[in-house]
Structure 1
Amino acid sequence: MPAKFSWRTEEDADWDNEIITTPEPPQEPKPYAWKRILLIVVLLAGVGLVIYRQVGRQIEAATQNAEADVRSSLNLMYMAIETADPELFNSILSGRDPAWTVAEQAVFQANLVVDRSPLGLQIVPFKGLLPGTAVPPEAIQAVSLSPDLNTAEITVVHPYIFRDGPGITDTISLAQTFIYRRGNSRWLFSPPQPDFWGNFATFGGEYITVTYPLRDETLALRLANDLDKKLTELCQRFSLNCPDDFRVRLRLETDPATLAMLAEPEALHKGSLRLELPTPTLVGIPLDETGYELLYRGYATAVVSAAISTLLKWECCDHARFYQAFLDYHLSELGLKVWPVTHADYQRLLNVGFQLPELTAFWHDSELTVVLQEKDWQIYTFVDFLIHRFPEVSPIKMMSEIRPQLSFFTWLADTIDPTRELGTGSDFMDNLDIELAQFAYAQSRQGAELPPVPLPEQDLLMVCSMRQETGRFSYLYQYDWRAEAWTQVYSLPSLLLLYPGPKDEGAIVQMIDFNEDVWQPFLWQGELLPIGGADETPLFTFGQTTPDGRFLVSYAPDTERQNFVPRLIDWTSCLQDNCQPASLPGQPIWSPDGQQVLYEDTLVFDSNLLELDKRFFLFGLTLQANHIWRAATGNEDALQEVGAGYAPVWVDNTHYAYIRFEPAANVTVGEEINVIPSGPAQQLVMASVVDDEPHVLVTLDELKASIPADVPQPAFLVMRYGVTHSAHPNQIFLVALSLSASHLYVFRVDVETEEVAFLFRAAFEPNHSMAFGPNGRFLVLTSSTRGLDNSEIEVPGQALMLYDTQTDKRHTFLLDTTFSTPSVLYDWSADGEWLVYRIDERVLGLMAPTHDFYQQLIRIDLGGVCGSLVWVSR
């Protein structure tokens, strides 16, 4: 400050010595002074305007930068949700309120930051995202910044799907609000200030008291009124007898921990009517009436579930899966959930050969689920059966009897059959199984689709047997499509086996009477016609015929009656009681045109492999190298030995293949070899009728090398047999067994290029069979369910597999039946359109796979044990 400056205040003034002077007369203003003043004012205004605009632009730029940074942090949060990355989520999470932070981390771990599945709302992923973004700009409804640009309120609109029935969905949107605050390096997802929510208020209804934050007052009051009405409906239905002091006390909480609790349904079943659920702003605000209705259903489902469990005094979580199924049924009756069971589920039940003991494992499950799991369909279908088959017992009664320490059998018997009309012990379960099958069949027929192509002009023939006091009786049944009924056409006090007849013109029936030592084949053509001579020699057949269907392969005992040896008989002569069988040197395999025949030197009951009606049956693991001969049909005296091996098969009319052991192994012909777990390797060879010189097509090492790396690799592999079809010229579909025969591997071998392609792997058990359908498109095989990636399978069982050679897809159908080779468990119609197969003792499956039709069912319920089934022409 300059030294000669004199600072004076009002308190320092010398008023007494003040000199009074006479003012001079005013001077006249100089010309144009006002113009200079006006110019100064204008200049100052311009400078101010410039400064104002600069400040405005700076504020606008700061706001835009802040909003961009907020959107960037929001995008990071959504990327963390999408990738389930907790570290990334924590990096944008505020730590100013530790309790809030822990709660949001729990919400993230439960995958409920934006997902609302526990409320029945499945989030729809955003579409049309730009690279590096997880939230589209149009989904962000609003970004509101505080005046100091340190706090942002963001509203994001999410689409959700609600499944309102099979194939029926509603789509809604919920607006969710997030608070962000400026941090040191980025904006952080943060808790709102207390004034964001406002004070709490209370609504009191007839059956409910709701406490809610004033921010959500409009929506909360509407929810409270609707919830009160739903509780009133609950108390008026289902004979629950709500007591006078029955009251639900619901608090709509602002704590995000209540969002995480939605993933823990056990919290609703603790016997308390004091509930805490997230307030609507935490869940999301609906944008329209449909959105409100679905949000209300979510709240009502939670409230009503807690009320029912409290009124029934259910102790969570004994037998939870069954309890939840009954609970969902009652919620569906109240219009809060969709009951998932349809006619298709009953058909599915029949398709998998379901039986009641399979539910025992589910009965002991004590885990409640937020979302219905795929494997729950069996439980829900069974509960639906109980509710509708036994209407005299109310569903709430069935539900109320689910108590701790009760066995599945005791609960069932005491609840639905207290008078034991269905029997006791195992009889009760067996009879209930029958009731379920009959009910399931009736339900499946109601929902069945119309066949895509006409049913064949053929009938089904099936044989069943039953033990009676006087011995075993067998029955032959015929199914009439038009009448949808089975008719018993024959019965005998003996064992009957059934095989397809030549070109479906009738069927071959083998009768075996062990008591009388009578073995007699018949031809069925509306009646049983005996096949064989008058010498009463035991005669046995599997129904093998020549390609033209004229001759039948049968087996008769040798002179010492030690073995059954093959013979060829003429149908026409035998039916006229003039059989003149011709002996065969071995097991015959005819060329497709019937002009050539291969013989494998093995006895039928010693072989582990049988070819019947162009299908192969495998029922053993041991192998042996057998002599293989070839001859022109009708010239069996001029046999030509072509080699030693097994499983000969024709590639076409002039080329054949078989499997042999590597020559270096020096395997003795006719000696049984157990190749599991180790043994001599094999080769697939092919020869021509021109010179019968074998040529190696593929070795065992080459088979192994063709198996992809993502397929379980067998420790040891053995070639077993191959099948061919005219629709696949120059190709052999080769089956190989893995270590201990636990699985089989199927390959396609091209005989021209000698290329090998791996097709698929399946579980294997003895009594396996495989064959092409008539048109060659589908390969059918029986296998085990062991190792199948199928959530429906709880216990290993049997399966029918259908492989589509055109699409490389497989369809697996579960069976509950016993394979007894060589029973014919599946058969194609003559036109190649329809495949029938036995699911279990109660139902058959019928499919037209060319037309993607897999759901026709045929009820059996004939009693006893049913075996083979075949098509027969009318």
Structure 2
Amino acid sequence: MAKFDWRTDEDAPWEEEIRAERPLPTPRRRYGLLIIPLLIMVIAGGIYLLVHRVDQQVTAATQNVSSDVLAVHQLLAEAAQAEDTELFAAQLDSQDSLWFDTAQSLLEQNLFHNRASFWLWVDPSQTAESPTVTLSPDLTEATVTERLPYLTKTASNETETIWLEQTAHYVLDNDHWLLTALPDDETFWGKWRTVEGRYVTITYSERDSAIGAQLAIDLDAYVAQLCAETAVPCRPNLEFRLRLSREFTNLLILAQSYRQINTVSMSLPSVYRMDLPTPTLLGWPSDDASYQALLRGYASWVTAVLTDRLTRGNDTVPDRFILDQLVQIGLELPPAPNFNLLPQEPPPIPLPNQDLLVSCKANGASDLWVYQLDSNIWLDAQNVMGQLDPFLNITLAWPLPSDEGVLLFLRRVVNGDYHSQVVLWANGTETILADTAESFEVAAWLAPRMSRNGRYLLLYQLIFNEDDTADSDVEQRFWLLDLQACIAGECVLQETDGVPFWSPDERHNLVVSIGPWPVNLRLNDSSGTEIGVIGKGWDPFWLDDTRFGYVRTAAQAEEFQAGNPVEIVLTDVTRVEDEPTILLTTADFTALELGPMSRVTAVDQRIFVNDILPVPGRDELIISLVTWSAEPVTNTSIAQYFYAYDIATDSLTPLFPTTDTTTYPLSFAQDGRFLTVFTAGNSNWHLNLYDMQTANMLQYNITPTQEYPLPGLDWSADEAWLVIADERMLRLIAPAHDYEYTIFHNYTGCRSANWISN
């Protein structure tokens, strides 16, 4: 029997139960829970990278745009500093024609950055701080702000440098950034605010409120001091209303004299009104020193203008009186627009050993000064002129040849009655050449105004016809004054029936008759006896004592219309009856390469000979040509070209072109080196000096005035220096050395200066 191996349950082996283990967190579950934040992180990272990349691209684009704006801003500054008008104009937005013209006028008058009449000049020894660019969201507009260094003069008469923040606005036009006007809306400027003081009421924009509010307090204090401590006759109800203008054109006021500012209030005679540029236009002060500089500028204008207006009851109040009042309250007159604190370079050649006779007019009063160049002293010439009628106004001063003296023309109108004087002033002595109750004028716009040797002076009269049957409301009559006879005590006005052009030896003259144009030309001898009738023509000229020429219509047509063919002809006094020699015709000019400004085409051959001037001592002519298109003539459709014509070689040499209009005769220094051409720009006269030896051109800007609409100039005895009287300064120019020496003064309206013997 088999032995049985007995076991209890406890001893029996356990059958291992197969069961599913409790699932612990497996990697898959763990990863599943983590994937969401990971995805979020990945997406966020991608978005971040994308945004960062886009942001980088936007930043790069913004930086590129800002760089483009700054490049144009820098180019504009360099063009302004170099006075490169063409490059400067190319960076301007021309959509607003008034703003466009104003910007160019400011550059012409050296006021685009300088603020000379506010005692502020850009300091060339300092470097401007890095500008800041603010772009519009669409990157099509930009505002540039930068702090510029300015030289100024303190109340203690010391020179210091201050900093003013300038604001410029640019617009994108056909992928090119252009300087444009500041925004004209409340978003930029804010609303208008007004502060009233005892005497001064100021209106300003919210943008400039911090400065405007303080100016209101300080300017009112200056006016109160002016009324209390000086001889200015302030009325009890005096009110001065000043508006800080945000109009860009108001910057042109900086080129005016304080006497020219319109302050009239038609409804309130005791109220004076004036606009001055707001600080955003002038320059925003950065600290107290710069604010004090700006305040002195505003205060000089306000007190000078107010003093002038309050003392106008006496029209003989001189600038010196006004200056004396301002000095008592620590101020000065606003300086001339081109005044500069920087020291001048020493002259390359000695200054002339001569004095200057300076004629001034302001508010109906005249002053005559002798400026002694060697001692820098101004002498009142009228105090030593006993015969000069003090009530007559000096309307013209004209030098005699070789600076032997000056002719003064004086006139006054009282109750509709005229009184005229012609006075010779020489060697400190005056000789009255004409003294009459007639309305004589000196023919100041004709060339020559007097014969070359200074014997004959041309005068004219305007006779206003009251007869309705007269051909014209105004009749012109011309008179000759023989200065040689006048000095001998036999001064007689001799009427002439035309405008004479004298030969160099004064033995003959060509007379341009009075009548419908073109008029007859006649040849007379020195006694006025007619030698012969030349024919119809204009622009007569003398090559020497016997040869003369003129312009006439082609085929000697009786009538002439602008654009018809013309001829320049030459003849002499011995063959008046013979046919003259034809030098040039319209066809010769049409064949010229006139350049990009020309309005002449093969079909439209519109050329006019505007002026002819012989070159002294040569068989050569300077010819001014005017061209225009078939379209209606405007200032922009006219171009002018200057040529030299050599008679011996029959050749034309181009000198220079201009789009200015010329309304002043051409002239030469006696040695024939420098051609003088006055042309009229947008707001200034331009004096163009062309060097016939080197073919170089120099141009100078001159500000016109109502009293002296035409500028005057005079060469020194050695013809090395040219003098021009500009606003409160005498400009001495040595063109052979491209040098200008400036004499600043405080006399308003002095726009005529002539060299005289000292």
The TM-score, its normalising length taken from structure 2, stands at: 0.55
**8 Å CA contact retained: 1:554, 1:568:** yes
Shift in Å at residue 319 of structure 1? 12
User: 1:643 and 2:535 equivalent?
Assistant: yes
Question: What residue number does 1:493 align with?
Answer: 391
* Contact 1:509 1:522 (8 Å CA) reproduced: yes
Matches within 5 A, 1:457-606: 457-467=353-363, 472-490=364-382, 492-497=390-395, 498-515=397-414, 516-525=417-426, 526-532=428-434, 540-542=441-443, 544-555=449-460, 563=475, 565-602=477-514
1:680 aligns with 2:573: no
1:681 & 1:820 partners in 2: Cα distance? 39
The one of 695, 702, 709 equivalent to 2:588 is: 702
Between the aligned partners of 1:780 and 1:552, the Cα distance in structure 2 is 22
Q: Which amino acid aligns with 1:628?
A: L
Match of 1:449 in 2: 345
Contact 1:767 1:819 in 2 (8 A): no
Structure with more of its chain in strand, by fraction: 2
- 1:682, 1:411 → 2: CA distance? 66
Distance in 1, matches of 2:349 and 2:214, equals 42
Between the two proteins, the alignment pairs up a number of residues equal to: 492
Pair 1:627 & 2:520 matched: yes
Instruction: Tell whether 2:552 aligns with 1:660.
Output: yes
* Contact preservation (8 Å) 2:142, 2:171: no
Question: Which one-letter code corresponds to 1:849 in the other structure?
Answer: P
Counterpart CA distance in 2 for 1:465 and 1:820 is 7
Q: State the distance in 2 between where 1:117 and 1:638 align.
A: 66
1:382-416 CA-to-partner distances (Å, cap 9, x unmatched) read xxxxxxxxxxxxxxxxxxx9985449995894497
1:640-690 superposed Cα distances (whole Å, 9 cap, x missing partner): 1122111101123332121112236431xxxxx7x5xx4533222222233
Q: 1:733 to 1:485 in 2, by over 3 A?
A: farther
Gaps of 5+ in 2: 1-49, 76-122, 154-164, 173-177, 183-202, 227-239, 243-272, 277-297, 305-330, 383-388, 467-473
Q: Distance in 2 between matches of 1:771 and 1:846?
A: 18
Contact 1:823 1:867 in 2 (8 A): no
2:619 matched to 1:729? yes
Amino acid at match of 1:813: Y
Instruction: Give the 5 Å matches for 1:285-324.
Output: 324=146
How far did residue 523 of structure 1 move?
0.4
Supply the AA of the counterpart residue of 1:530: I
Question: Is 1:827 paired with 2:707?
Answer: no
Cα distance change, pair 512–452 in 1 and its aligned pair in 2 (3 A) = same
Q: Could you list the per-position Cα deviations for residues 160-215 of structure 1 after superposition, in whole angstroms to 9, with x for gaps in the alignment?
A: xxxxx95899xxxxxxxxxxxxxxxxxxxxxxxxxxxxxxxxxxxxxxxxxxxxxx
Aligned counterparts of 1:762 and 1:600: Cα–Cα separation in 2: 28
Q: CA deviation at 1:628?
A: 0.9
Tell me the CA shift for residue 601 of structure 1. 1.1
Tell me the SS of whatever aligns to 2:375.
coil
**Aligned partner letter, 1:546:** S
d(CA) in 1 for partners of 2:661, 2:643: 18
Letter in 2 for 1:419: A
Q: Separation in 1 of the partners of 2:73 and 2:420?
A: 66
- How far off its partner does 1:799 sit? 2.3
Question: How far apart, in 2, do the equivalents of 1:664 and 1:836 lie?
Answer: 43
Q: Contact 1:722 / 1:735 at 8 angstroms: preserved in 2?
A: no
Residue of 755, 772, 782 corresponding to 2:678: 782
Q: Name the aligned partner's letter for residue 643 of structure 1.
A: G
The structure-2 alpha-carbon separation of the partners of 1:573 and 1:556, relative to structure 1 and needing over 3 Å to count, comes to farther
Contact 1:647 1:722 in 2 (8 A): yes
User: 1:324 corresponds to which letter in structure 2?
Assistant: E
Over the aligned positions, Cα root-mean-square deviation in angstroms equals 4.9
Cα pair 1:721 1:736 within 8 Å, conserved: no
More helix by share: 1
Pairing 1:762–2:658 present: yes
Task: Identify the residue that residue 711 of structure 1 maps to in structure 2.
Answer: 597
1:106: Cα distance to partner?
4.0
Query: Any stretches of 5+ residues in structure 1 without a counterpart?
Result: 1-94, 121-164, 170-261, 271-317, 330-338, 344-361, 370-374, 380-400, 604-622, 668-672, 787-795
Q: Residue 551 of structure 1: CA displacement?
A: 3.6
Task: Give the letter aligned to residue 643 of structure 2.
Answer: F
The answer on whether the counterparts of 1:509 and 1:523 sit within 8 Å (CA) in structure 2 is yes
Q: Which residue of 1 aligns with 2:688?
A: 801
1:830 Cα shift? 1.7
Q: Quick one: which amino acid aligns to residue 831 of structure 1?
A: D
- Counterparts of 2:74 and 2:541, CA distance in 1: 61
* Moved beyond 6 Å, runs of 4+: 115-120, 318-321, 433-437, 440-443, 535-538, 556-562, 819-822
The offset of 1:820, in angstroms, is: 6.6
CA distance in 2, matches of 1:683, 1:474: 46
Supply the distance in 2 between the matched residues of 1:581 and 1:106 (Cα, whole angstroms): 79
Instruction: Work out the CA distance in 2 between the residues paired with 1:649 and 1:118.
Output: 50
Which amino acid is 2:134 matched to? Answer: E
Q: How does 1:359-508 map to 2 (within 5 A)?
A: 365-366=168-169, 405-406=207-208, 410=212, 413-414=215-216, 417=219, 419=221, 421=223, 424-425=241-242, 429=276, 431-432=300-301, 444=340, 446-467=342-363, 472-490=364-382, 492-497=390-395, 498-508=397-407
Q: Distance in 2 between matches of 1:631 and 1:657?
A: 15
State the SS of the aligned residue for 2:588.
helix
1:779–1:442: structure 2 CA closer, same or farther, 3 Å change rule?
closer
Bigger Cα displacement from structure 2, 475-484 vs 571-580: 571-580
Amino acid at match of 1:500: P
Please state whether the residue corresponding to 1:573 is helix, strand or coil.
helix
State the 1:522 CA deviation: 0.6
Q: Which residue of the partner structure matches residue 746 of structure 2?
A: 861
